[in-house]
Structure 1
């Protein structure tokens, strides 16, 4: 299966990390959130992660020990290549869609990664509503503990 659209349900610590890294890797990423308040809480998390990525990449220019595999398979990167990766971080951050709409999130989703609060009632309600809005091809994964 050729995956293009990834949906992350939940924008907490784990969900925001999954979303930004997925967008960095070139996927079309949507974060589904329960409310406008959840969107407001997710945005600073994404911004903080973007800054961590950018700062880490900048550090890699002068400190080879700061190398992080999640940015590139190459272990030795030129300053120009690092600048390209920094732009890729900016583009990834800007490309993420945040929505409260099941329809917008589920429409044509290839993969949905559920990362919502560990509350069985909330999870059941989420899955019951989500099922109405996703195509048969969609793979659903959870990080439930």
Structure 2
């Protein structure tokens, strides 16, 4: 049996929705990874600061911390930027996901309306057959 154009469209919409859902999951994973890197960079600064400010730390540890701190801050800034970009990417894909879901729902609704129209047409045909039988049997017109 040949597929209707509407069934073909539904298949395409399902494929599109699946692709966008996978893209959304990937975007969320990228955002989570970026947030983890940010947390790691921030924790590293705190750890290095604790070591340098320890009562047992010598001047070399304090100097090493002061030399390293700009790099640590830069790592935090870069991680924040990656978080921001990942969040923007996730929102863009989220918008596409909402649109894909709406498109899928629209074609499903259209299919249900088409099925209901077909059902109504079948009921009308059945009623016409019954009316014809009644006319033949009882001679009414």
Say whether the fold is shared (TM-score over 0.5): no
Q: Which has the higher helix share?
A: 2
Q: What's the TM-score, normalizing by structure 1?
A: 0.29
Which of structures 1 and 2 has the larger relative contact order (alpha carbons within 8 angstroms, sep 6+)? 2
Find the structure with the greater CA-based Rg.
2
Q: Which has the higher strand share?
A: 1
Q: What's the TM-score, normalizing by structure 2?
A: 0.30
